[in-house]
Each structure stands twice: as structure tokens, then as C-alpha cells.
Chains A and B, each alone.
Chain A
């Protein structure tokens, strides 16, 4: 845990989805304070939020709703609190997903669909991300750097202008979306080496 009490405090939303410790540790490594929490009330006074996740959309949505997290997240985004979604945490921001035909948070127009090609699924491993416009979060990403993906569904934003990065896996999909002080990546920054950590660092330093 960082000893710097002046460091911005980032909440990592815990809804029973995967390895949250790595996200918290990644944030601490780039000099933020991190709390992992499953309580909506804890989100009221933080400087930023990471909405991480791996797992299955339907059960995760049930947990989020039961904890009152759905409205808390909606409120954070309405207040323009710096918000970083990761993997399932990106997909759940959309209206719905083909995974179990689950309704999601509806914070970004669009849906998630399953890879329908002949390639191996899950899309697992390191792949390219082509950034389609400039963003303060991506200034320290080395050229041609690859990020770590693991997912079977991919997002289709209704608003193409939200797309910040694209990845090709049997066709191009939006692997990074961003709008105002929200960014969300299909890949795992916390599992993508040092440049992944730089993405957290530079996003929050800019957005807070």
C-alpha cells in the first residue's frame, strides 16, 4: 500500500469477478492508493474508479444490482468521476450482451456479441491495439505494443466516435472506448506489462 496519503484514491469495484488484487497492486505501483470494495457507499468519495472484471455477464450483473452498484456506477459517470473499465467491466457498460442474453448497465449505447469466426475462442493472448485518435492516456504507449486479451465476446459501440482503439481478431473490433473521463479496454492493462500500468497512470493523472 502506498504510504503517500496525498496520492489520489482509486476504488476497484469488487463484484466477484476475477483477480482484483492485480488491479489494486498495479494502481499502487504507479503511485495511487487503491481500495477494493463491494460497497456502493465507498464510491462516493474516491478520486477515480476501476471497474474490472472477468467472468460471466449474467451472474455479475445480478451481484452488481444486489449491491446497488448499478446506480452507483451510473451516478459516478454522470458526475464525470474518472472511470476505467476493464474486460468484462467494459462489456457491462453497454446495453446488453449475447452472453446469456444478459441486460447490462446501459451506460454506453451498444452491445456485445460472440466471436463467430473459425479462430480459436477465447481470444487469448497478446494482440495489437491500433489507437485511432490521440488521447492523454495513451501518450506513453510504445509503437506496436501488444496487450493481453482474454475474452469470447466483443463490444460493438453504437457510437463509432467512442472508439479509441481497434484490434483485429478475425475482423476488427473496438478494443478501447473513451468518452469524457471514461475509458474502457477489452484487454487487461494490469496483465500487459509496464505499458499497461502506464495506461492507468496517465489516464488517472490526466482525468483527476
Chain B
């Protein structure tokens, strides 16, 4: 049976892993290659690296990180952050990434994900999305010019971009519609991050995950809010996500991946039990 996945996320700045609380107050949680190896041994099903430097000199450092990680671990590697063109996608894939996550640039130019999927295949193009819960009266941005994704009175979560610095910028886009639209353009997976839940450790936004998972037929990776193993089980059952992404609870050793998988397994969720045998 297809396993639900547990995916540690490593935010990388200047070649080092950091994790902010609500995207602020970055602390240094270690060397990306060391952490990748550590999580692989713990039984991580995939790894996600986000480059939060997003400057041109940081790009070279990130390529080197991806290159070195890909030489060390034999599990899938997704890389995101600052991907703006088909050429950026190609460069990351050539450096050793298996999948590339596109976030802000996809909002600015949805044609990018269509072109990238047509060129490299849907299997390696991931939509990264940051969204927050909102009432229609609170929406500040004008509705997006693409009517299929523009918010309306039924909008419950709005997409925000440039979330690295602070709360980010409103995009005038309905999160659920955006996921559906991007899936039609060819993305093969969506990493759905809740800005409200991120850093709180109070659990994923289950309503958001359910809404997105029900709207698309591609896999949904839930992000933001993991504080314990119960939250992770919850999001792949009640939240209907295919995978649970987490950062700080793993980086700071609060829980191990093995503990999260054991909790899932005892609650009837299919998981991959890691093994060091065989080679």
C-alpha cells in the first residue's frame, strides 16, 4: 500500500539550515548535508530544501548544497526558493534535485509552471503555496486578473507571496482555486503551507488541507503547525494530506521521524518502516 510520507523541511540560508518561528527570528540548526544524512538514516521519506537567501550569490551556494546532498542521500530531494525561470528549474535538476518547488514566480507568471511541466514533466514540478485564513472583508489586494483563481465571497484562504520577510504580500488569489488551477497547468504536487499555523506548533490547518486535497487529484503535502506526532497523524487522516512536512520539531530533536511513523502505524496509517539492511 502507498505509504503516507514524512518530510523534514530544511530552510537554507547562506549554506546553513535555519528555521524561523512564523518566518522570523532565524536560528541556526545546522549543516544541510549532515542533517540530510541524519534524516535519511532516521527514515525520512523525502527531503525538502528551501533557499531563503534568494539572492544571486546565494544561488551558487544553494546549488552546491543540493549537489552535495544529492551525493549523500538516496531519497527524493525537492528544492525551492527563488526559482524564477525554466532555466532555474533546469539548473536545480542538473545539480541533483528530483523536484523543484515554485512559489512566488508561479503567482506572478502561471505560464512558468505550465512551461516547466511541459519541459521536464509534472513529476518534478511542485507548487509551493503560502496561504492564510481570511474573511472576504479583510482582503486588501485587488482580485487577481485571472478570474479562475481570483478571490470571491467564498474565499476562506488567500495566497500570499514574498512571505520570507514578514507576512508577505496578498496576491488576490483564492488558495483552493489556485491549487486546482496549478494542477491543471501541470504541477505534480502541492506543498500547502498555512501561514497561520506555521511556527505555532498547534497543529496543521486541517480545514485548509482538506479543502485543497478535495479540490485536486495530485498529492498534497501539508506544511505549517506540526508540534507533535499526533498532529502529523491527524493531517494525513482527517486532513487528507498525502504527506506531512515538518521542520523545527525534528531539527531540535523534540520528536524523531521514527516516533512519528510509529504513531501513524499504530493508528492504521500505512508508513514506510525504514531499514538499514540490504546493501
Contact = CB atoms under 8 A, between A and B. Distances in A.
Interface of A: 17-19, 21-22, 25-26, 29-30, 54-56, 88, 119-128, 140-142, 144-146, 148-152, 168-169, 188, 190-198, 201
Contacts of B277: 142, 194-195
A21 B121 contact: no
Nearest to A115: B217
A142 B4 CA distance: 20
Contact of A201 (B123, B124, B275, B279): B279
Most A C-beta atoms less than 10 A away, residue of B70, B96, B120, B279:
B279
Interface stretch (B51-59, B71-79, B147-155, B249-257): B71-79
Contacts of B1: 127-128, 168
B180 interface: no
Nearest to A127: B2
17 contacts: A18-B93, A18-B124, A19-B98, A22-B74, A55-B123, A120-B242, A122-B218, A124-B242, A125-B242, A126-B3, A126-B45, A126-B272, A127-B1, A149-B2, A169-B2, A193-B278, A195-B275
Nearest to B220: A120
Contacts of B71: 25
A122 B242 CA distance: 12
Given A22-B74, A124-B189, A169-B2, 11 more contacts: A21-B96, A120-B217, A122-B122, A124-B219, A125-B219, A126-B3, A140-B279, A146-B3, A190-B74, A192-B74, A195-B279
A19 B96 contact: yes
A191 B278 contact: no
A125 B121 contact: no
B1 to A, nearest CB: 7
B218 to A, nearest CB: 6
B98 A191 contact: yes
A26 B219 contact: no
B3 A127 contact: yes
Contacts of B242: 120, 124-125
Interface string B158-194: 0000000000000000000000000000001100000
Contacts of B124: 18-19, 54
B96 A198 contact: no
A145 B121 contact: no
B91 interface: no
Contact of A198 (B76, B95, B272, B278): B278
Given A19-B97, A21-B94, A193-B75, A125 B217 contact: no
A56 B70 CA distance: 23
A122 B188 contact: yes
Contacts of A152: 122-123
B76 A148 contact: yes
A19 B276 CA distance: 24
A146 B272 contact: yes
A21 B70 contact: yes
B278 A141 contact: yes
B275 A145 contact: yes
Interface in B113-142: 118, 120-124
Contacts of B200: none
B74 A125 contact: no
B23 to A, nearest CB: 27
Contacts of A194: 74, 276-279
A108 B28 CA distance: 52
B102 to A, nearest CB: 17
A150 B121 CA distance: 11
Contacts of B3: 125-127, 146
Contacts of B217: 120-121
Contacts of B93: 18-19
A45 B71 CA distance: 27
B210 interface: no
Nearest to B117: A56
Interface string B62-95: 0000000011001110000000000000000111
B278 A54 contact: no
Query: 7 closest A-B pairs (Cβ-Cβ)?
Result: A195-B278, A194-B279, A198-B279, A55-B121, A126-B272, A126-B3, A150-B123
